[in-house]
Chains A and B, each alone.
Chain A
């Protein structure tokens, strides 16, 4: 390489750069720059026509000045002139300037596009590459309009040089990312996919990025890439380290390409073709094996490249989530990395294990590393690694280790970095709630949390502890006692005062029998904190005082005295003054009965998603909430919130006074459309204003109706509507949560819970881009006869989704009668001007309405025998593609919603399940036997499924079941 020629390409430029570097101050630099700008301006304006070289030099100087951070408002035209120079370096500088400093001057764009067009058709590969680089660097919509149809042609033409193909592929990718509507692959699809077979490794490397992106968007059209990718991967993985010459990097064959191949495969479910799948599993095994081999080089580049492939392979294994063997091996490998001396590997291992923890197959294996992870939380010197350790502890937490993990997190919180405290607090709060077996532990944990990190305890956290205490009468006495004790500390956090005030105001009577916490002692304790608190807390305390008057008439005089004093009744804060005046008046004129009614104990809060969980998700995106957690929340949520069995959609006190929970109130509050939010403002409603967040969840009937009408509109199927089917379809039969859909723009996460014939589904729409989505609308429809079978209600979502933001939509689902189709979700929005339209099937299947039923062997077979008419049974024999792992099968069957009955079938190999499908019109009992034929290794016999009614969709339902089981 001729080193001499490098620096002195443009001497004037070098001199200028030296000058700038020699400037002693910012002012001197600006002065020098202004001088230069004036000089260049005069040259450009001068009468003498500049030669190409001078133009190049001055344009380059302008570029330098711009890159220093100064504004440049001229020189564009000269740069454009350079584009049409036939001297390579002039052209090159011209393109560089345009790429960095393009503006949307339409006249200029036209000229630029003209120059590009000329270079593209020049058949000079070097010029073509320059032009393509420019398009890729600018990537504007104007350029997409001009070139999106031309570039695919260049990409697949037989006579295109390899280097041009590489640039064309990535250029197209960039255009596709900015203007997907303008890049139409259509006829080119198959030829683009076949670039995976290209002899030139560079072409494959470039093309695969394009193919991956296109596959994410149009998986079906590109699905032939799977087998090509597998065979390419297999060739690389099995090649010797020298085979690939310059594409071998520190003894690792083609690491970039390998990673990209593995990434591409993550756009698809496991290959259906047995041979392809076998070959892929072999590759993955080889990669795992190589990790155990001694390194071929001590250089960090060698191990990085090797491990990059390993981590990508593990991502694929996790993505498939169907090979228990590989999952456990992956987990063991990551376990080794947890103690590696390289910080980077420890970080990545913690991160990757987080996703493994959410797989049912590897959750237990991940849990075995708990001590190492706790140690990492305590000893890692880098906060980002500690953060990963905290995430992993959160992900691996379940009932068996919750107490240990929560204790460790709490003790870590005392010294935790400020940057992660708030998130840690949320996590502790969620785990404490989710895995609380006894509620005194929960209350202790949250109060500890406030003690240790009060400043980081957000409203959601302390709202939640109050919601739970109010909903669970077995913990109210304990909570009152504990907050009373906590408030005795000379300095306690204001959040503690809030919780204390609220809880004593509601349940102070439960500890008033003890003279040490008599009503007056309680009141004095609270009031001793009053003057140190902010206005909102004082307002809350005033509400607690009026509740005291109701709870303990003996405190009335004292409290009235307090309310009456000038600092209250003439307080300069309007809110405080109003409360003081109203409460004082209320306590003096209302009769005891009226007082008792107005100040009645708070009714239970409606069951709803934990606001803390919502907050954490908002903070971290849907991925932050592990699948196990979501699955657990179905089983445990109701029990924990305590709202499940008695909760009613009464969010305000005013409403609760009017209606006591009726036994017919539906469990999820689905059908209650009462105008709850419309409760008139009264003194009473002030009492609950700390829960004002309940407002939006209980909007007025008018708003509801509006939403309902809009939902009834049929989705207008425009020609570019894309019906995505497949992957989501069966994946969700046995699970309720996960990622429903993902492309480069949008991710849709789903979380659902069902009870009897009702369901609630939470959809989380995440904008993956940095650009706002406009006119974002979603429509749910029940096509055809489904309309009379399933009732799905929802409200419209916000029309704007900011870049990186996530919005949530709640669907309320009621199963009226047996159904077999799935409701459709249509999503439309504008991204960078282009209308996006997609339709998805929502994973609502009849089995979601299963209620598990336990029964004895005797009962089971008695019923089994009763169901003998042809329409009452269905039988299916199908092949198992994989080994029939007991745990896996059990998990699937439980996921189906039935109860798995032990000791029922005389043959212990068989699985026996029972459940009742709940619809509004009828209940249908179902019995199920699965008879694996392990000896043959090929056949599962799915025994008669018997139903107690003529149940038309059972065969369909078995269709759901069987292909899924085959996947096991």
Chain B
């Protein structure tokens, strides 16, 4: 996989993960083009399209589009299920995930993705194992949060 983008129906980018080296300008250009292309497609259309020399696999969940760019020999259907598994992971972690969860906890969305996919390839496909890794981190975080709340921050 070359990259994954999450964006809203309004075209706002919510998450971007790049597995190939590209400069910021190129990333922005790709994002703009793809968001436009995907948003222009009608609901019942197929989830795959050819774009430049890549294959785009996308699926909409509620207000969010999940969009992956894969290479020629990569498998479209299994990529669709990569998206679904990621959604399941977010859902399980946040408890019925919605777009707001991803906006306010964007760093978590990245951490979960890193446990699931690395370098554009599936690292761990077991839901249980991915969540276990994230959970461990959260236990640590909770302790710190507890400490920190004692010193209320002026903001």
Contact = CB atoms under 8 A, between A and B. Distances in A.
Contacts of B36: none
A87 B140 contact: yes
Contacts of B13: 67, 69
A133 B81 contact: no
Interface string A182-214: 000000000000000000011001100100000
Given A206-B121, A348-B77, A67 B47 contact: no
B128 A136 contact: no
Contacts of A92: 107, 111, 137
A363 interface: no
A7 B145 CA distance: 11
A40 B145 CA distance: 21
Interface string A236-266: 0000000001110100001111011001001
B61 interface: no
Interface stretch (A12-20, A436-444, A605-613): A12-20
Contacts of A171: 118-119
Contacts of A5: 138, 141-142, 145
Interface stretch (A381-389, A568-576, A843-851): A381-389
Nearest to A305: B81
B53 A621 contact: yes
Contact of B95 (A3, A63, A247, A266): A3
A212 to B, nearest CB: 9
A21 interface: yes
Interface string B42-59: 101111111011000000
B155 A12 contact: yes
Given A9-B145, A133-B114, A201-B126, A263 B75 contact: yes
Contact of A255 (B21, B53, B71, B81): B81
Given A1-B92, A89-B140, A263-B73, A64 B121 contact: no
A209 B121 contact: yes
Contacts of A87: 140, 144
A9 B81 CA distance: 30
A72 to B, nearest CB: 10
A311 B77 contact: yes
Contact of B75 (A247, A254, A308, A385): A308
A167 interface: yes
B39 interface: no
A60 interface: yes
A174 interface: yes
A518 interface: no
A768 B72 CA distance: 10
Nearest to B125: A256
A381 B122 CA distance: 33
Given A87-B144, A384-B49, A384-B50, A308 B118 contact: no
Q: Which of B75, B76, B95, B110 has the most CB of A within 10 A?
A: B75
A247 B127 CA distance: 8
Interface in B96-130: 101, 103-108, 110-111, 114, 118-129
Contacts of A60: 107
A387 B49 CA distance: 10
Contacts of A74: none
Given A5-B145, A171-B119, A173-B119, A348 B76 contact: yes
Interface in A147-206: 163, 166-167, 170-171, 173-174, 177-178, 201-202, 205-206
Contacts of A139: 21, 119
Contact of B85 (A137, A249, A312): A249
A6 B93 CA distance: 9
Interface string A330-346: 00000000000001101
Given A5-B138, A9-B145, A381-B44, A170 B125 contact: no
A2 interface: yes
A853 B142 CA distance: 84
A96 B113 CA distance: 12
Contacts of B42: 381-382
B141 A136 contact: no
Given A12-B153, A53-B144, A202-B123, A311 B75 contact: yes
A209 B84 CA distance: 20
A435 interface: no
Contacts of A14: 104
Contact of B128 (A11, A89, A246): A246
Nearest to A771: B21
A88 interface: yes
B136 interface: yes
Contact of B45 (A256, A307, A384): A384
A167 B122 contact: no
A413 interface: no
Q: Which of B48, B105, B107 has the most CB of A within 10 A?
A: B107
Contact of A384 (B48, B131, B153): B48
B139 to A, nearest CB: 9
Contacts of B111: 92, 96
Contacts of A2: 138, 142
Top 3 A-B residue pairs of the complex, sorted by shortest distance between their CB atoms:
A308-B77, A174-B119, A209-B121
Given A89-B137, A256-B78, A344-B47, 16 more contacts: A5-B141, A6-B105, A7-B101, A140-B21, A166-B124, A173-B119, A174-B120, A202-B126, A249-B125, A308-B80, A308-B81, A343-B44, A343-B46, A344-B76, A347-B48, A381-B42
6 contacts: A7-B105, A64-B106, A67-B16, A92-B137, A173-B119, A308-B76
